[in-house]
Structure 1
Amino acid sequence: MKAYRFPEGFNWGTATASYQIEGGKGGRAPCIWDAFCKTEGRVVNGDNGDLACDHFTLYKEDVKIMKDMGLKNYRLSIAMPRIFPGGQGPANEEGIAFYNGLIDCLLDAGITPCVTLYHWDLPLELEMEHGGWQNYITVERFLEYAEVCFERFGDRVKSWLTFNEPWCAAVLGYGNGEMAPGCTSSDAVKVYRAGHHMLLGHARAVEIYRKKFRTAQNGVIGVTLNCNWTEPKPSDDPETAKLNAEAAERSVLWNLGWFADPVYKGDYPEVMRNRCGDRLPEFTADEKALLKGSSDFFGLNHYSTDYAEDDSGPGHYVSHWGTVNTGGFWGDMAVRGSTDPSWAKTDMGWPIVPWGFRKLLLWIQARYSPEGGIQVTENGAAVNEPTVDLAVDDKARIVYYEGYLKEMHAAIQLGADVRAYYAWSFMDNFEWAYGYSKRFGLVHVDYNTMKRTPKSSLKWFSKVLSTNTLERRLWLDV
């Protein structure tokens, strides 16, 4: 048995999101996901987030489980439509009271909250009246909401994230319609405009925090981005191998650099500017200055790895929901993704490739050298768990975590400044377009009774937390 010890002060945590666990109580108005769920054929089994895991009612029970497992960090999100039910102020005091209670409960249990301001649950009124992230009005409403959150919670919350995975919100929400609000854009104009507005919302929220709150509250603020690693598909032909290597790099820039380059370098990647032309919005000089350096750390959500091939024709991408998309965003990127038949897959169908995690962390370190280090804000696996007994004995999830943590440790040894890791997710929840058919949790949730049952992975992760060490067992080797 070999042990992999992590740096002193390394932060371990788990993560969830408001729409996925809280339910609709507490004066929460409809959001874009409520409307999406009610559209036939959008969500598996017609599931919705009306009750979810009823965390709104049961949060004290959930925090007790966290405390008992020795958790010290917990990433949650605030539901904008619970604070601003109509998309703008005044604030809903019932919603404020809920989050005050949750934050205080976490702190009383010795758990540090990391709070995400936007995890996809945009108030429906902003989408219906203004076109959501297509309209700068939504940026203005988001800034008003962010300031209320800083004012009301910032005396206790010391770690903030503005946006979770803007890539998903832009591409899947406004490009191919697989996520709320379910819009499509054959030329990707809506995709790039939504991403542009979220970047401006991020930068201006950070500006507000730094100018008005940071001195007194002494917190940090950033954004978290999602990215698979893309490995060049092997080829014996030198020219093909070269093109595939370029495609793999282009893919990471399109999926991660699209948002990270403006935050760390002040503008979009040059390859995007060249390929998209005037369909990619321009930043003003002031906006570039505001964006550059606008994250106190690099937030990263990572789950999987794909092979990349150059595709000089229309772009082809097989989505997580099995649909094939051509042209638009994918055509601009001109990368064909594929997998290796030898790679195992999670219940989501995502390849399990731990070494891709190491490569991505090192790529981020080399390109951005983030001053505040890298925080892995999500990583985890869906496992097929049709019964509670199978869920409790979730060795497959432990295997996934062990493989990815080993490679994260290797990346740290090779120079990646990784300082935090949050397992996704604390408990089973509403998995967006998959409804309740996929389970990522360390805690099993019976959606009929709301009973919580800790899984083997929670007990395993608890040991990692208490020892700051990953112990590799031969029977779980990957």
Structure 2
Amino acid sequence: MDQACYISAYFSPYLKSTGSQASTRKRISIWADKDNHELIKSQSRAEKLCRWVYGRRSPRMTASSSSTLTTDRAIPPVPSFTPNETTVDDLWKQIEIHSSVATAAKSNLMNSTEVRLSPVPPPHLPVYLSQKTKNMKFPKGFKYGVASSAPQIEGAAKEDGKGPSVWDYGPHVYPKMYTGTIDITDDFYHKYKNDLARLKAMGVNTFMLSIAWTRIYPLGSGTVNELGLAFYDKVVDEAIKNNIEPVITLFHWDTPLALSAHYGSWVSPKIIKDYNRYTETVFRRFGDRVKMWITFNEPSGFCSQLSLIPHNLTFPEGINVKNAPYHCAHNVLVAHGTAVRTYRKLIKERVVAAGQIGMKSDEYKPTPWSDSKEDKEASDRYVDFRIGIFAKPIFVDGDYPTSCKQTLGDLLPPLTRKEQKLIKGSADFYAQDLYRVNHAKAAPNGIKACMGNLSDPNWPICRDERPQYIISTPGNWTYGQQADLSAPQLVNSWFALRDQLEYLTKAFPSKGGIYISEFGWAEVFENTRTELYQIVSDYGRESYFMDYLNEFLLAIHEDKIDLRGIFAWGVYDNYEWLAGVTGRYGLQYVNFTDPALPRHFKRSFYAIRNVMQHHLEAEDFNL
């Protein structure tokens, strides 16, 4: 996937210069059509940033990407947008020039709330239990949750006035760079009643969902879409009816296409005002019932996307693939701080009920490859660039990590004193997506040399990015049990979790405790299995979750970590970004070849249910 990201980012300046006209260079040769070990000296820093988004979940897709970019014509025209003139229909027409937006078939799941748990896995099959934790309990009020996002599960892309996001646009306009569209996905939009009833049947007490910005403001700003608000009203009420607490993520990567076309979305400070207007609308509508909010999901992930097609085709003057991710980081932090200030003001004015708000980080603190000073520094730098660039301003002192400022220089817009004051303390809890832990080894030429060389393939973090130094050990073993090859860096890292939690709670302290806001597993060869009994027998995923839950209990009781909840990814198989529906992380199997999209509980979900029923306080298990 790294080569695909590189090709998209590297050639975009050439493609952009041609606009919609046929390129004077009929073809661009891609070196090479087979793997080799030659370093491309002119490599853009965007290649490494791509790993922020796609390193965990997506398959390698270089061939399809390069075939998209080496056609006889340049890339399709940039979506046009004129304020006060362009309509939602205009934007959808620009998408459907390339392919029609699909709609879901009606099925008997749409309004069904009947859920049967039988047949459960047979008792003679192995289970993964720890004698050490058998009598330990999660603290009272612990959130046993599953997670999802609007673009990955909702479907109903054009329904009820919804506007297009960049994730509606990309798969239709660049089909060879994506695996399918988000037109239908799991059709949660029509099947939410059945889906929430199924979660209740598994004892889940909390559901993390996101709101699609373009359902509320189809053009990102302007007129509110009442039908969009009404849909989420129904979802929130149905969740509460099932004794499930809704936790809402306000932004999960689905940037309104109109804002991208208008001013470049997250690289422009203009988005701060539009985001705040959107979030205030949502707070006011649902704040009487929703008590926990996430402003941004994994901002390091979507900020890195801005180096890539189609996002980089709408850059305003002064923005390029080198500085775009860092202008995004700056604007996200200010937008986050502004939204939190608005939310707290609404609480103070008693417009909404008292609640909590924060941001979701991702990644991890790498284990140094060796005891050398440089490898330890590489580990620290990884945290600074992947987590600290957002978490340190919020939880520590309002400013970026020193290593980021020293390495990036004027590529990273400084935070003013006013902005630092706004951002510092702008979270009531710390939330971390913690799928795995890997290694960190210093760049081959040393960190100091790497820092000063923007063409170094390991810049700006200056960790050696060769896979053997990330997912293997010095003894040439994998760092942990490896997941499906579609997720090459995902390993079962149970043995490192307690150290991770201890580090994160000390580095980014929060009075509201810590939440594991996502963790999940790509079962080996699951997407190639054809029989239902094979698909739902996900022993690797079960082992992963049992290992992690065991370590979470030990962290709470032996390390005194203030862990207040966990959210398993995902509620069911869904659209996993570039991998489409072929990337399977779900606790439920969804048959995407059946128009009815039937759901089936996997063995791992039963195992989680059994463990949580035993280890939660009785009132916290949703019976």
> TM-score, normalization: structure 2?
0.69
Once the 2 structures are TM-superposed, how far is the Cα of residue 418 of structure 1 from its aligned partner?
Answer: 1.2
Q: Distance in 2 between matches of 1:49 and 1:136?
A: 28
The answer to whether structure 1 residue 106 and structure 2 residue 106 are counterparts is no
Shift of 1:353: 1.6
The unaligned stretches of length 5 or more in structure 1 are: 236-240, 316-325, 471-478
C-alpha displacement of 1:174: 1.9
2:568 is the counterpart of 1:460: no
| Distance in 2 of aligned mates of 1:242 and 1:187 | 32
State the Cα deviation string for residues 310-342 of structure 1 (Å, max 9, x = none).
116599xxxxxxxxxx84895121111421133
Give the drift of 1:80. Answer: 0.3
- State the SS of the aligned residue for 2:366: strand
Alpha-carbon separation, structure 1, partners of 2:291 and 2:348 = 9
Displacement, 1:215? 5.5
The match for 1:42 is 177
Q: Distance in 2 between matches of 1:292 and 1:244?
A: 30
Structure 1 or 2: more strand by fraction: 1
For 1:222, what is the secondary structure of its paired residue?
A: strand
CA contact (8 A) 2:395 2:509 kept: no
Change in CA separation of 1:75 and 1:93 when aligned onto 2, cut-off 3 Å: same
| Residue matched to 1:476 | none
Cα shift readout 1:150-177 (whole Å, capped 9, x = no counterpart)? 0111111110000000000112x123x3
Q: For 1:418-437, list aligned pairs within 5 A.
A: 418-437=563-582
Q: Which one-letter code corresponds to 1:400 in the other structure?
A: Y
The answer as to whether partners of 1:139 and 1:197 remain within 8 angstroms in 2 is yes
Structure 1 range deviating more: 334-343 or 415-424: 334-343
Match of 2:69 in 1: none
Q: Relative to 1, partners in 2 of residues 1:84 and 1:351: Cα closer, same or farther, differing over 3 Å? A: same
Q: Give the match for residue 259 of structure 1.
A: 390
Preserved CA contact (<8 Å) 2:306 2:312 = yes
For the residues of structure 2 that align with 1:327 and 1:138, how far apart are their CA atoms? 31
Q: In the alignment, what sits opposite 2:407? A: 275
Q: Alignment partner for residue 461 of structure 2, among 333, 341, 351? A: 333
The one-character-per-residue Cα deviations of 1:30-76 (angstroms, maximum 9, x if unpaired) are: 100111212133213xx010011000000000011011111110100
The alpha-carbon distance between structure 1 residues 382 and 227, as it changes in their structure 2 partners (threshold 3 A), is same
Is 1:9 aligned to 2:144, yes or no? no
Matches within 5 A, 1:45-194: 47-171=180-304, 173-175=305-307, 177=308, 181=311, 188-194=322-328
| Range that drifts further, 183-192 or 292-301 | 183-192
- The answer to whether structure 1 residue 224 and structure 2 residue 340 are counterparts is no
Q: What amino acid is the match of 1:399?
A: S
- Aligned pair 1:450/2:597, yes or no? yes
2:20 corresponds to which residue? Answer: none
**Alpha-carbon deviation of 1:91?**
1.3
For 1:238, the equivalent position in structure 2 comes to none
CA change 1:232–1:457 in 2 (3 A) is: same
Cα pair 1:426 1:442 within 8 Å, conserved: yes
Residue matched to 2:75: none
327 and 18 in structure 1: CA distance in 2 versus 1, 3 angstrom threshold: farther
Q: Select which of 423, 440, 444 maps to 1:291.
A: 423
Alpha-carbon distance in structure 2 between the residues aligned to 1:170 and 1:436 = 23
Contact 2:142 2:616 in 1 (8 A): no
Mapped to 2, the partners of 1:79 and 1:328 lie a distance apart of 38
The answer to whether the 8 A contact 1:117-1:160 is kept is: yes
User: Which residue, out of 243, 246, 265, partners 2:377?
Assistant: 246
The alignment partner of 1:457 has SS state of helix
What RMSD, in angstroms, separates the aligned Cα atoms of the two structures? Answer: 2.1
Residues 276-307 of structure 1 deviation map (CA, whole Å, 9 limit, x = unaligned):
11211111111101111000000111111211
Larger Rg: 2
Q: Using the TM superposition, name which of 103-112 and 82-91 deviates more.
A: 82-91
Percent of paired sites with the same residue: 32
For 2:516, which of 366, 373, 376 is the aligned residue? 376
Structure 2 counterpart SS, 1:310: coil
Instruction: Give the residue type in structure 2 aligned to 1:114.
Output: V
Name the SS of the counterpart of 1:5 in structure 2: coil
| TM-score when normalising by structure 1 | 0.90
Cα contact 1:314–1:327 (8 A) shared by 2: no
Write the distance in 1 (CA, Å) between the matches of 2:535 and 2:251: 30
Partner residue in 1 for 2:96 = none
Distance 1:294 1:329 in 2: 34
Q: 1:415: which partner in 2?
A: 560
